[in-house]
Amino acid sequence: MGKRARDTRQAEKNKTTTTSNSTTMPSKPHRWQPSITARTLLMVLVGFVAFVIVGGVVLYKPIVYGDAVEDFGIVMMLTVPVIAAVAFRVVLDSWVDSD
């Protein structure tokens, strides 16, 4: 009778280990993985949008009132879109490459 109880316990132990091994964990949902080309195109698009916004703000007064464009405005139009595009690319790459 001792052997039978031991076999029963061994069978129960095997059943619990196979049950725990056979259960699958739900996998994470698959995230969008853009290619390098898509990332670059998105970066250019963000830079262009920033250029349009900054250009609209900087050029509003000269267009409406006929004033000269200030040097600071030209510098802003050239630098802010580049900074925005690079910052967007850094965030996009870190988000996509994170596990």
Q: Give the 3-state secondary structure of residue 98.
A: coil
CB 85 within 8 A of CB 44: yes
Q: What is the pLDDT of residue 7?
A: 61
Residue-wise pLDDT tens digits, 36-94:
899 999 999 999 999 999 999 989 988 888 888 888 888 999 999 999 999 999 999 99
Q: Domain ranges for the chain, please list them.
A: 27-97
Position of tokens 């129960």? 12
pLDDT category at 6 given cuts 50, 70, 90 is low
Write the DSSP symbol of residue 2: H
pLDDT category at 22 given cuts 50, 70, 90 is low
Q: What is the pLDDT of residue 49?
A: 95
CA distances from 12 to 9, 16, 17, 98 (A): 5, 6, 9, 41
Q: What is the pLDDT of residue 13?
A: 59
What one-character-per-residue DSSP string does 9-73 give? HHHHHHHHHHHHHH--PPPPPPPP---HHHHHHHHHHHHHHHHHHHHHHHHHHHHHH-PPPPHHH
